[in-house]
Amino acid sequence: MSKRFLIAVVAATALTASTLHGQGSLSSQGLGYPPGELSTRALGTAGALGEIDARSPINPAALAIRTAAQVYAQYDPEFRTITTNGQSSSTTLARMPNIGGVLPLNGHLVLGISASTFLDRTWETSRVRSQVFGSDTVAFNETLKSEGAITDVRLALAYAVNARLRFGIGVHTFPGSMRLTSNEIFPDTTKFRNITQLNQVSFSGKAVSVGMEAALLPTLSIALSGRKGGTAKMFANDSLLTTGTIPTRYSGSLAFTGIPGTMVAARASHETWSQLDDLSYAHTRAVDANDLSLGVESSGPRLGGGFPLLMRLGVRRRTLPFAVGTSAIQETSFGGGIGIPIAFDHVTLDMALLHETRTGVTGVSERGYNLSFGLQVHP
C-alpha cells in the first residue's frame, strides 16, 4: 500500500466539526484515546487514587504500599454517543486496559509487571461521497475503520524504606499496532467495483519512570512520580515512517486519612503529548495536557461481619491529547465504584461507573458511560 493511503486514513482522524459523522468521535483523534492507565479501583474515584494504587501502573513506588502478592485483570466496556448539529450516533467499545501482577521479593523490595492501554486506536467513521466517472456522477459510501492500540508494558521495582517512605523505578516499552481499512461501496456493483484497501501500522517506544510515596503526618501522605519518554517510532509494512518521543509526565497527589475508615485524595498530572507531534503522518496537533481529579474511598457495611465493602466517588477534569483542528478537547468525568472482598479478602471484585462528557468543538459534543470491572487475586 502506498504512503498516500496511510496519510489519507490517518488524516481522517483529525476530523473537523463539519466532517464528524458516522461513528467518528472527539475522543479518538490523532493516535487515539488515552484511558489513563487507571485500575478499576482508581476509576471509582475518577483517577484520584492513581498515584497510590499498586494496580495503576503510574507511580512505581505504589507497589510497596501493600507488600502482598497479587495478580489482576480488568475489563472496561464504553458506551459512547456523539452529537453533531442535532444528529446523534452511538457505538460500543470493549477494552481490557490493564493486567499485571505484584510479587514481594522480601520484606522491603517488591517487583511489579503490567500491560496497560496507553492509546486506544479503535474508531470507525462513514460518509456518502460522489465521484465523477466520465459524464456520470456516482454516489458511494466510504467507510474508514481503525482497530488497535499502543500498550505500555512496565517492569518496576519498589523499595519500602520503612512504614512511612517508599521509592520506585520502572522501565517501559510501548509496542502497538493498528489495522487501517478503507472501503468504497457502490450501490450498483454491475457497473462499479467496490474498493477495499488495508494497511498495517505498528509502533514502538521506550520510557523510564520513578516515584516516591511518603507520610508527611500520621493522617497525610504525599506521592510524586514522573515518566521520561524515549524515542517512539511508527512503521508501515516494516518501513520506518517517522519518529517522535513518548510523552514526559509529571504527577502527584495528596491523601488524607483523618476520618476513620475514609481516604480523601487529590491528584494532578501534566503530560507533554506535544512530543508525539512528529509521529503523526497527518500532522494532527497534539497538545500538552493537565489532568485533575478529586475522590474519596470509604469503608461501607461488612459482608457477614467480615471485611467491609469499599465505596468510592470522584470527579475528574482533563485535556485530551489530540486536538480537532485548532480546538483542544476537554473531558469531564464523574465516577463511582465499589470494592467487594471475597474469600476472606483473598479475592477482590472492583466495579466502577463513569459518566464522561467531551467538549471543545462548536456544535459537537460527546458523552460516554464507561464501566469497569477489576478482579484481583491475593494468594
Q: Which residue has the higher pLDDT, 75 or 279?
A: 75
The CATH code that applies to domain 3-373 is 2.40.160.60
- Rounded Cα distance, 124 and 121, in Å: 10
Residues 92, 78: contact at Cβ < 8 Å? Answer: yes
pLDDT of 168-177, one tens digit each?
999 999 999 8
* Residue 190 confidence (pLDDT) above 70: no
Residue 284 Cα distances to 9, 121, 234, 365, 374, angstroms = 12, 14, 14, 20, 34
| pLDDT confidence bin for 278, thresholds 50/70/90 | confident
Residue 299 reports pLDDT greater than 80: yes
pLDDT, one tens digit per residue, over 325-365 is: 788 999 999 999 999 998 877 899 999 999 999 998 888 88
* Helix (H/G/I), strand (E/B), else coil: 97: coil
What are the φ and ψ backbone dihedral angles of 237, each rounded to 5 degrees?
50, 45
Largest Cα span, the chain: 81
Of residues 175 and 197, the one with the higher pLDDT is: 175
- Apex 123 CA angle, 290 and 28, nearest 5: 15
pLDDT at 246: 95
User: Between these two residues, 98 and 6, which has the higher pLDDT value?
Assistant: 98
- CA-angle at 328, arms to 321 and 5, nearest 5°: 65
> pLDDT confidence of 252, banded at 50, 70, 90?
very high
Q: Quote the pLDDT of residue 280.
A: 63
Q: Where are the domains of the chain?
A: 3-373
Is the pLDDT score of 40 beyond 70? yes
pLDDT at 24: 57
Query: Is a pLDDT exceeding 50 seen at residue 255?
Result: yes
pLDDT category, 141, cuts 50, 70, 90? confident
Residue of 229, 109, 107, 230 lying closest to 167 (CA atoms) = 109
DSSP secondary structure code for residue 279 in this structure: G
* β-strand pairing of 123-133 with 136-162: antiparallel
Residue written as grid cell 477489576: 374
How much is the pLDDT for 236? 81
Interval 118-137 mean pLDDT: 73
Confidence of residue 148 (pLDDT cuts 50, 70, 90): confident
Would you say 310 and 303 are in contact if contact means Cβ atoms under 8 Å apart?
no
Beta bridge partners of 12: none
The answer, as to whether pTM is greater than 0.75, is yes
Helix (H) / strand (E) element for 8: namely: helix 3-11
Q: Residue 43 is inside which H or E element, if any? A: helix 40-44
Confidence of residue 282 (pLDDT cuts 50, 70, 90): low
